[in-house]
Chain A
Amino acid sequence: MMSSDTVNDRAITDARALLDTLLSSGWQEVHVVSGETEIFIARAGGGINPMRNLVASAEPGISVATEDVAEICVTAQHVATLVDIVPLGTDLQAGDRVATIRILDVEEAIPAPVAGRISGLSVDVGALIEYGMPIFSIAQAA
């Protein structure tokens, strides 16, 4: 696990590199999403910051796509194999285990980011999940 300092340092390095890219190119704006980092940089008169209206995830290691505020899709943070996952329709509290993934011989739990009902399963047990692939969706309890 990287320390938050390392994560921050990397984000700063990435932002510098992107700023340099922007300045040395003819672009008006640059927007990069990768891992835990999302960076948007624009020149004066550039595009509107797409991150302005985004609800960020409070849960570390879980990325949240908010097509609909009520449904949260949890995607893989790295390559792994799906060991087990709760059935569709299961009601869970925030932090409850939804799925178990495995890297080589080490298993890791994926918790529910919020309280709610599992509304979508995207991967079969035993399948290889790649980085960024949706694993499950959870409909947030009202």
Chain B
Amino acid sequence: MAIKRLFIANRGEIALRIVRAAQALNIETVLAVSDPDRDSAAAQLADRTIVIGPASATKSYLDPRLIVHAAKESGCDGLHPGYGFLSERAILPTLCHAHGIAFVGPEPEVIDALGDKLRARAMAGAAGVPLVPGSDCVASAADARREGDRIGYPVLLKASAGGGGRGMVIANNAEEAEAGFHRASAEAVAAFGDGTLFMERFVPEARHVEVQLMGDGRGNVLHFGERDCSVQRRYQKLVEEAPCAAMPDHLRKQLHESAVALAASVNYRNAGTCEFLFDVKRQEFYFIEVNARIQVEHPVSEMISGFDLVQEQIRIAGGAGLSVSQDQVKLTGHAIECRINAEDVARDFLPSPGRITRWQPPQGDGIRLDSHMTQGAMIPPFYDSMVGKLIVHGSDRADAIARLSAALDAFVVEGVPTTIDLHREIVAHPDFIENHIHTRWLEQVLLPERAKRAA
């Protein structure tokens, strides 16, 4: 049964994005809001809003009972969780099912299985997805040398019982592997009372690539190409692009096939993303995890495919099959997205909520802005500090960078500090232009350079 009235259990730009997608499908919208979000852009556009709780997210957006109660009592037959908040908590689809509401996302069992790193890794292995080469338990220095030689250096020696970096040693050759075994094992005994180690290949300069997937829950899965999200700070993505220009076509094909195989093996339903680590030197990719939801950076895939992923999500949750076949998915050009946050970069990216006194976004061909902000809008201090996503589409990567650079220059925001200046610097950096970046590039290269200039 196609969804007639959709409940939106989220806020910010993604809530607005979902309201618009539903309206394009002639579906009524009911938006959950917390007290300070009563007048948000999404609230103004939705057919109805329900104030579910106070500012505190644990008493509003993170309480699945309040969310499902409001959805049910307002006569909704579908619920979209967006990203973040409860989007990957199995309790939400479980409650939805119990109350006759279609959940826009995978089955709760699939969310649980993919959310467990070890189970997800086993599922990926079973589906033939490449995993980071590693060892079983390593019992001696001689074992460590043998396994290191087999895996290939550098390797990471890790405590089986461990976590948080304790008992972890990087070894660049066989000698270091032997010496590292003694050191890591002693550390592991001291920290965890258990000296058992295992080894894993260490990729010092990796790229983060991920494949956008859409499944019908019956074993049919489409991909919408890959994204490269290697500009990161503390594992938070700042810039995302599609496709991954650093990846050769034969590898790209394998990457897509691996992601589709994994999703198909669990009859994946709705939108998902399979994340990989790409070792550019070795030209190999390894499974990281699956995110069982729509992602922040989905627009870059929409820009190169011309396909609305959120509308497809809602249709599939309403029981429809996939609306296109794989050969109808045509990927053209290059898209880049910048996440713009209200943060003070100079003060260690301190979130800086407040009122937007001037909001003058760029406009033009190939420019898309996903934002809930307007002049005079308030960024409440209670949630994340993202003010919007600037996305550009060009004929190739160089063209996209040129458009992005012009768009960032034209973007004027006053009232709160934002990361727009930082994005200008990223986009203008020779390493970014030449595409010689990796997941630690921002923290190891650009930010130190910036700090040096400021000193």
Contact = CB atoms under 8 A, between A and B. Distances in A.
Interface in A15-35: 17-18, 20-21, 24-25, 32, 34-35
Given A34-B55, A132-B51, A20 B35 contact: no
Nearest to B355: A25
B59 A35 contact: yes
A130 B30 CA distance: 13
A37 B380 CA distance: 15
Contact of B53 (A6, A37, A79): A79
B73 A81 contact: yes
Given A20-B350, A131-B35, A131-B52, A78 B382 contact: no
B74 interface: yes
B69 interface: yes
Contacts of A21: 352-354, 381
Interface residue tally on A, bucketed by range: 20 to 34
Given A25-B355, A104-B99, A18 B65 contact: no
Contacts of B74: 128
B151 interface: no
Contacts of A132: 35, 51
A39 to B, nearest CB: 10
A106 B52 CA distance: 16
Dominant SS among interface residues on chain A: mixed
Contact of A104 (B51, B65, B416): B65
A55 interface: no
B36 interface: yes
B70 A128 contact: yes
Interface in A61-84: 77-81
B95 interface: yes
A130 B60 CA distance: 11
Dominant SS among interface residues on chain B: mixed
Interface in B33-80: 34-36, 50-56, 58-60, 63, 65-66, 68-70, 72-74
Interface residue tally on B, bucketed by range: 35 or more
Contacts of B195: none
A14 B381 CA distance: 7
Given A34-B35, A132-B35, A78 B352 contact: no
B134 interface: no
Contact of A34 (B36, B72, B344, B416): B36
B37 to A, nearest CB: 11
Nearest to B352: A24
A79 B48 CA distance: 14
Interface in B376-435: 381-382, 415-417
Given A17-B382, A132-B35, A79 B355 contact: no
Nearest to B36: A34
B351 interface: yes
A103 interface: yes
A36 B54 contact: yes
A43 interface: no
Contact of B354 (A24, A103, A106, A133): A24
A133 to B, nearest CB: 8
Contacts of A24: 344, 352, 354, 416-417
A2 interface: yes
Contacts of B50: 79, 128, 130
Nearest to B381: A17
Q: Which of A2, A103, A130, A131 neighbours the largest number of chain B CB atoms within 10 Å of its CB?
A: A131
Contacts of A133: 51
Contact of B72 (A32, A35, A77, A104): A104
Contacts of B56: 10, 34-35, 37
Q: Which of B36, B54, B72 neighbours the largest number of chain A CB atoms within 10 Å of its CB?
A: B54
B53 A78 contact: yes
B67 to A, nearest CB: 9
A131 B53 contact: yes
Contacts of B73: 81, 128
25 contacts: A10-B58, A14-B381, A20-B350, A21-B352, A24-B352, A24-B416, A25-B415, A32-B36, A34-B382, A35-B35, A77-B53, A77-B54, A78-B52, A78-B54, A78-B63, A79-B51, A79-B66, A81-B69, A103-B66, A104-B68, A104-B72, A104-B95, A128-B70, A131-B52, A131-B60
Nearest 5 Cβ contacts at the A-B interface: A35-B54, A17-B381, A34-B55, A130-B51, A79-B52
